[in-house]
Structure 1
Amino acid sequence: MTPDVQFLLLLAVIALLFITELIPLAVTSIGGAVACGLLGFITPKAVFSGLSNSSVLLFAGMFVVGAAMFHTGLAQNIGKKVVSVFGTSEKSLMLGIMIIGAVLSGFLSNTGTTACLMPVVLGICSAARLPASRQLLPLAFGIAFGGIFTIIGTPPNLIASNALVEAGFRPFGFFEFAWVGIPIAIAGTLYMMFIGYRFLPKVNAAADIEIEQEFDVSNDNPQKQLISGLILLGVVIVMALNLKFITLEMAAVIGALVAVLTGCLTEKQAYASIDWVSIFLFAGMISVSSAMDKTGAGKLLAKFCVDLLGGTPSPLFVAALLFLVSSFLTQFMSNTATATLLCPIGVAIAQQIGASPHAVVMSITIGIACAYATPVGTPPNTLVLGPGGYRFMDYVKVGTPLIFVSFIVSMIVIPIVWPFFK
């Protein structure tokens, strides 16, 4: 049995364990990474390489920065102001949260935006007396929508544009993704407000209880509230400036250090604020994603789909199939790795059938952005897992229909904006 087939069998087991949660999600993720090492898919040194990934430090740093807002009471105060604007209605709050998340993530890192907004949303939920589980997943989805507004919204956008340039075609413009991104955001938000909310769990997560307890104790220190707010603002500004000498993770860690040094929270509280389930879940799947790439399992899946196309398939059919393939792979595989794998294939297929590659590559890119159906599909999904008290199947129930909403919108809009034949 070839390594690519062996890996796909392992991936099926990992997916089954994620769905059934027979063992904790973090254990499944790290166990999958270890299995990849034992089976020789990746080197022993690469098994735990995910723990040294820069996003892990970004997660940890922003958990601490966010916790400072809770320990000082600032998050609750912000929450009360937002509630005063949008009211305490679950749907109106969802609308406000998704809009804010989408707008910010169009220009900032999706991961950074989630990490920055999550404590604010938890504060909003506390002030409105709503379970965080009703708002955190919509936040992650709103941020995913915003990621396809601009070319810098998420890494796959740049990868897709570069794939076109390397093949001799014009790149995508800065706001060109918004032609399909905004309609998807509108349709997706309407879906969440009128259909998707029905599948959201009503979980009073431990985080909610702890947050309210902290508010009761430390909601009377305006000076520290100001400091914690300035720390968050500073981190966001530095991330937005995209400075070469200060990376996202450096900004987050510096913010966390300043939060402790200024007394916004203690060292013990800082350690306790880090959601280690999210850390290990994300780190383990980085190694699994690497194994998918090295074994050629991703290419095997792509080739299988290409073979299904036959001789001279319809360009729309090609775009639709590649959308579905990319949206499936991105649920378990790094979105960057998925884009790196599929975008060149999309350009090649488009050239083979004599069609413009822009529509095909855009279909792949949007499909990659639809990482709604698993907690490991994208970092924002992982970040809200613990604080929202979600289970694996919650993502499947809410996110799977959302993928098809995005699919329908994409298949209508993309051929209009980027015609297959000129």
Structure 2
Amino acid sequence: MSSIDTPSIHAIIVMVITAVALVFYSRPNIPMATTSLGVLVLLAFVFSIYPAQWLGRTLDPMIFFSGFSNEALIAIVALMIAGGAIVHTGALDPLGRFLSKVWNYAPPLAFLLVLMVTAFLSAFVNDTPLVVLLIPLLTGIAIRTQRPVSRMLMPLGFAALMGGMTTTIGTSTNLVVVSVAQSLGLPPMGMFYFTMPAIIAAGVGMLYLWLIAPLLLPKRQTPLGDQSPRLFDATLHLGEDSPSVGKTLADVQKIAPGLRVRQVLRGNTQTMVPLADIVLRTGDRLLVRDYSNKLKEYEEILKATLYSGEQAVSEENPLQADDQQLAEVVVMPNSFLVGRSLANSLFAARFDLASLGIYRRGASLLSKDLEKEILRSGDVILVQSSRNTITELRQKGDLTLLDATTDLPRSNKANLALLIMLAIVLPAAFNWLPIAVTAPLGVLFMVASGCIEWRQLGVSVNSSVILLISAGIALSIGLVKTNAAHFLAQSFLTVTHSLPPTFVVGMILFFVAALANIASHTTGALIGAPIAVQIAHGLQLSPEPFLLAVLFGANLGYATPMAYQTNVLTMNAAGYTFLDFLRVGLPLLILMGLLISYLLPIYFPF
């Protein structure tokens, strides 16, 4: 084995910046975007005041910003917007209703179907909003069937991770590795370039999640309950057999505690203010607004028919929240709300806002006594109202609204959004057009057709991901062009020179997987990719299996809750502990890692 070259001062600087970035990326209190921007600025600054030589020429420090023009980054941004449109239009709601129906007939098979559908969708759609959509579905099913939801949600999150690793667009981690590979001069990878070994490993992992993981997970009461923070406007139609007929509205509200009637409609034209002494008649229609489960409860108590628009509510015609937005209101120190409750400040009537929850210094309050909670300075109130109302409040400045305004999903553009998403994926899947072309084109059609509006594009795009990928490309360029990656690869080969290449691939995979679980999945991808390529060059072997070992290792974020965003979501929803992830995720990580280490040299020979 040849001796290890001494690293240059520029190589040492890049390695130090990389090590500091690793530490900062692993700190939850430091925003990932801040660290990424710091890496970009620091590299450009250092190489401007202290230039480096590359192939006989001075290295242009502006090369560290080249990641912003990378085609993979363009594809990522467009896909984030397209995925946001899918969520915004409620295009996945029918899937949730279908899975709920199947569960009534064969729960074990339905659970397997949920896992498989989740994995399939996460290969093309961002897995975080997908898991957000499916958590309430599984929670509701668990409550109805009296099953512990804690045995369902962790397998759901892991299934999304497995599906995400099967395509180049499945996760931002995959796109980071693919974009870094291209920046290092390797040929581009198609959408399904590494799908086959991923599917084989995921198939085995899916059986583990279906049959073994639920047995390892404890029975815990979910802290979520069966509510989702969304209010619906609906109409209760009173029939002849309704116990409310002939009674005053005050008496009816005693029968159905909590019922708040906004208007009473009688006949075709008469609209009445809901006074307490109004005597209700057959055929009256009560305009109400509440959570879906409460509305269904009132329907049952009053023996009325619940309508959404012109149609009775059913699984085929669910409750709609058209033109409704969620927003966050901050209680400032000088606000009239400080020291008062939502009820005694007449918050709802004064601003035409429905309160859904209160966020207070790390605790979310979604209780029945929400209206009675005494507000404090710094509280954030989650509210819902029409788009016009939210806009007027922001313009008037009566309340301090955060910019995190979100439209509630609507379904009138759902099929169109799915069709456009299909038009994005298929040409790229068959290599007719690159994904960097089809994705922006699809976004253009989504905006033009009204699936998503220009003002919502900023909400869909995650600036942290953009900066992260750009910083990753910058670090890779620095590691390669200063020969720091060559030095690190030589050091690794000195230790592993007597091992077969398959073992080396496995060591890279498990090393990156450890980084992914201890720090973050992006950390392993950013640092591992350029070093893996240099190790392959040092062994004079094809770099593909080594690079893909980094990609798959970064996706094996099963052993800790901080490894991936979906782990945090399921942890909060089901009340998991760190040991729960270790008990279920570590065996899965070892199983998947060994399988992939064995399969990579078969599908991508050295």
Which TM-score applies when normalising by structure 1? 0.66
User: Any idea what SS the aligned residue of 1:21 has?
Assistant: coil
- Contact residue 413 and residue 451 of structure 2 kept, 8 A: yes
Aligned equivalents of 2:432 and 2:603: distance in 1?
Answer: 34
- 1:259-270 → structure 2 map (5 Å cutoff): 259-270=446-457
Counterpart Cα distance in 2 of 1:338 and 1:89: 48
2:555 is matched with 372
The range that moved more, 220-229 or 296-305, is 220-229
Cα distance in structure 2, aligned partners of 1:326 and 1:220: 38
Deviation at 1:182, TM superposition (A): 4.7
The answer (yes or no) to whether the contact 2:118–2:159 under 8 Å persists in 1 is no
Per the TM alignment, residue 283 of structure 1 is displaced from its structure 2 partner at its CA by 2.4
Pick aligned residue for 2:13 from 6, 10, 13: 6
Return closer, same or farther for 1:341/1:255 CA change in 2, 3 Å cut-off: same
Q: Return the offset for 1:304.
A: 0.8
What is the match of residue 595 of structure 2? 409
State the 1:256 CA deviation.
Answer: 1.4
Q: Which residue of 2 aligns with 1:144?
A: 165
CA deviation digits over 1:351-392, x for unaligned, max 9? xxxxxx8xx9746644542212679xxxxx9997999999xx
Shift in Å, 1:248: 0.9
Deviations 1:100-124 (A, max 9, x none): 576689xxxx6xx244x76555443
- The residue identity in structure 1 corresponding to 2:430 is L
Q: Which amino acid is the alignment partner of residue 70 of structure 1?
A: V
The whole-number CA distance in structure 2 between the counterparts of 1:327 and 1:257 is 37
Deviates more, 1:261-270 or 1:117-126: 117-126
Distance 2:601 2:447 in 1: 52
Native 8 Å contact 1:102 1:145 kept in 2: no
User: Which residue pairs with 2:537 in the alignment?
Assistant: 344
Conservation of the 8 A alpha-carbon contact between 1:33 and 1:285? no
- Please point out which of 13, 16, 33 is paired with 1:26: 33
Specify the code of the residue in structure 1 equivalent to 2:496.
Answer: L
Q: Which amino acid aligns with 1:51?
A: F
Within a 5 Å distance, the mapping from 1:376-415 to structure 2 comes to: 403-410=589-596
Give the distance between the partners of 1:87 and 1:50, measured in 2 at CA: 49
Q: Which stretch of the first structure deviates more once superposed, 134-143 or 61-70?
A: 134-143
* Structure 2, unaligned runs of 5 or more: 1-7, 53-58, 141-148, 169-173, 186-191, 233-290, 292-318, 324-407, 516-522, 573-577
Instruction: Tell me whether 1:124 sits opposite 2:310 in the alignment.
Output: no
Alignment of 1:20-169 (within 5 A): 20-40=27-47, 43-85=60-102, 96=113, 99-100=116-117, 113-115=124-126, 121-129=131-139, 135=156, 138-145=159-166
Aligned residue identity for 1:80: R
Is the contact between residue 118 and residue 130 of structure 2 (CA under 8 Å) also seen in structure 1?
no
Match of 2:479 in 1: 292
Bigger strand fraction: 2
Matched, 1:304 2:304: no
Q: Is the 8 Å Cα contact of residues 235 and 252 (structure 1) preserved in structure 2? A: yes
Q: 1:71 to 1:4 in 2, by over 3 A?
A: same
Give, as a single letter, the amino acid of the residue that structure 1 aligns with 2:492: C
Provide the alpha-carbon RMSD of the alignment: 5.1
Aligned to 2:416: 227
Report whether the alignment pairs 1:281 with 2:468: yes
Aligned equivalents of 2:465, 2:484: Cα separation in 1: 26
CA 1:266 to 1:88, structure 2 compared with 1: closer, same or farther past 3 Å? farther
Q: Deviations over 1:243-294 (max 9, x none)?
A: 24xx312211121121121122322123322222222222222212222222
Structure 1 vs Structure 2: percent identity of aligned residues?
Answer: 20
- CA gap 1:82/1:8 in 2 versus in 1, 3 angstroms: farther
Partner of 1:249: 436
Q: Which amino acid in 2 is paired with 1:309? A: T
Query: Could you list the per-position Cα deviations for residues 134-182 of structure 1 after superposition, in whole angstroms to 9, with x for gaps in the alignment?
Result: 54564233231567xxxxx9987xx8xxx9xxxxxxxxxx99984x545
CA distance in 2, matches of 1:97, 1:181: 19
Gaps of 5+ in 1: 148-152, 164-173, 349-356, 376-380
Higher helix proportion (structure 1 or 2): 1
CA gap of 1:336–1:121, structure 2 versus 1, over 3 A, is same
* Greater relative CO, 1 or 2 (CA 8 Å, sep 6+): 1
Q: Is the CA contact 2:67–2:471 (under 8 Å) kept in the aligned structure 1? A: yes
The structure with the larger Rg is 2
- Please identify, of 11-20 and 222-231, the stretch whose mean Cα deviation from structure 2 is larger: 222-231
Q: Secondary structure at the match of 2:555?
A: coil
Distance (Å, rounded) in 1 between the aligned partners of 2:510 and 2:586: 12
Are the structure 2 counterparts of residues 269 and 415 from structure 1 closer, same or farther at C-alpha, using a change threshold of 3 Å?
A: closer
> Aligned AA for 1:28?
T
Aligned counterparts of 1:78 and 1:296: Cα–Cα separation in 2: 51
Q: Which residue of 2 aligns with 1:217?
A: 322
With over 3 angstroms needed to count, the CA separation of the structure-2 counterparts of 1:28 and 1:409, relative to structure 1, is same
Q: Which residue type is aligned with residue 408 of structure 1?
A: L
Cα-to-partner distance string for 1:287-340 (whole Å, 9 max, x where unaligned): 122222222222222111211135x55566555445556767981427764564
1:337–1:94: structure 2 CA closer, same or farther, 3 Å change rule? farther
2-side partners of 1:293 and 1:88: how far apart?
Answer: 57
Cα offsets for 1:7-26 (capped at 9, x unmatched): 22221111111112342011
